[in-house]
Amino acid sequence: MNDAIARRKRELEQYNAPSTIDPAELNAFWSAALDADANRPLGARRERTDSPFPGVAVDRLTYNGYDDTPIHAWFMAPEARPGDGGGALPCVVAFPGYTVDRGYPERHAAWLLQGYAVLAVDVRGQGGETGNRMPLRSGAVKGWVSGNVLEPEGSYYHAIALDAARAVDAAAAQPEVDAGKVAAVGGSQGGGLALLAAALNPKTAAVVADIPNQCHMDYGVLHSASSLTEVAQYLKRYPERLGTVLRTLAHFDLLNLAPRIQAPVLMSVGWKDPVCMPETVYAVYNRIEADKTIVDYPFSGHEVSEAQVRIGMEFLRARFR
């Protein structure tokens, strides 16, 4: 390995960002939030639609997110064939990047070819079929993430975190799915939501989180070109609210939630990424205590290569064989 690359790798491996919230306070917050959410019916319902794939059933699946916002998704599963045993399938819960929806079923063909069921979800408000019933109690800047950013419970981040945790429940509840083999996957925002799902829902059996966001969020507000620029723009208008805003973000920062993750994790990071910067990704990776692997791309920016897609598939195949 080149000396400069090796030195940079050591710097990242040794990067140690301190927690931004007391762990006892964080755990108490999430214990209360998850207990309250457990009493809300999931209400998952399916409607068959045309499939672009021979031998694959495609349903429109809707489940009740936080605050009962209907979250729209695709549920896709290879149909049983004579002689294949007809056993329950491992399932991939696929989360999209920021401003992106679940797309068409074709986007998820690679996972279906591996024999997985797929639950591909929208993120509330972000361009798909899913709306947002969360009341906006104060002004926000353009975008979504500054919604109710002065309050941890009821913020936009709170809503999408619980939506992500409930997506794992929705996948595990489907009769075609092996509830012990549900993986959360995604890139950028999707990678952050995959890690959040694992931190909040123990049914998550594995995580593939490529170039994830919601990592080391105080650093990101200062430096990132990501969705956190919306928070920076909010603070430009209201600089006196900095402490309150950072306290809200701390409840959803994977830097603080990383020790809650128990499932095996695969992460990737681009060292030239101005959106999900390597310091933010490694800050979280270095605090994960579960079985973990990270793949470095010293010359990549905010992108997920075909090589990394293959590595993610091999990672899940090894765990769900």
- Average pLDDT rounded to a whole number, residues 30-45: 95
Residue 272, domain member (yes or no): yes
Q: Is the pLDDT of residue 316 over 80?
A: yes
pLDDT of the residue at 86: 63
Count of the separate structural domains present in the chain? 1
pLDDT bin (cut points 50, 70, 90) of residue 164 is: very high
Q: Is the pLDDT of residue 90 over 90?
A: yes
Q: Is the pLDDT of residue 80 over 80?
A: no
Residue 18, domain member (yes or no): no
| CATH number of domain containing 207 | 3.40.50.1820
Residue 91, domain member (yes or no): yes
Q: Is the pLDDT of residue 152 over 60?
A: yes
Which residues belong to the active site?
A: 188, 273, 302
Q: In whole angstroms, what is the distance from residue 122 CA to residue 125 CA?
A: 8
**Which residues constitute the domain of residue 291?**
26-320
pLDDT of the residue at 84: 61
pLDDT bin (cut points 50, 70, 90) of residue 321 is: confident
Q: In whole angstroms, what is the distance from residue 218 CA to residue 20 CA?
A: 8
pLDDT of the residue at 43: 96
Residue 279, domain member (yes or no): yes
Residue 187, domain member (yes or no): yes
How would you class 103 by CB atoms within 10 Å of its CB: exposed for 0-12, middle for 13-18, buried for 19 or more? middle
pLDDT of the residue at 85: 59
Q: What is the DSSP string of 135-179?
A: ---S---SSSTTTTTT-STTSHHHHHHHHHHHHHHHHHTSTTEEE
pLDDT bin (cut points 50, 70, 90) of residue 119 is: very high
Q: Is the pLDDT of residue 81 over 70?
A: no
Q: In whole angstroms, what is the distance from residue 283 CA to residue 16 CA?
A: 6
Q: What digits encode the pLDDT tens for the residues 275-298?
A: 999 999 999 999 999 999 999 999
- Average pLDDT rounded to a whole number, residues 185-189: 98
CB within 8 Å of 292: residues ≥ 6 apart: 264, 265, 266, 267, 285
pLDDT of the residue at 256: 98
Q: Is the pLDDT of residue 71 over 80?
A: yes
Q: What digits encode the pLDDT tens for the residues 203-236?
A: 999 999 999 999 999 999 999 998 999 999 999 9
Q: In whole angstroms, what is the distance from residue 135 CA to residue 69 CA?
A: 11
Q: What is the pTM of this model?
A: 0.97
Given phi > 0 = left and psi -120 to 50 = alpha, else beta, which region is 127? left
Residue 16, domain member (yes or no): no
Residue 171, domain member (yes or no): yes
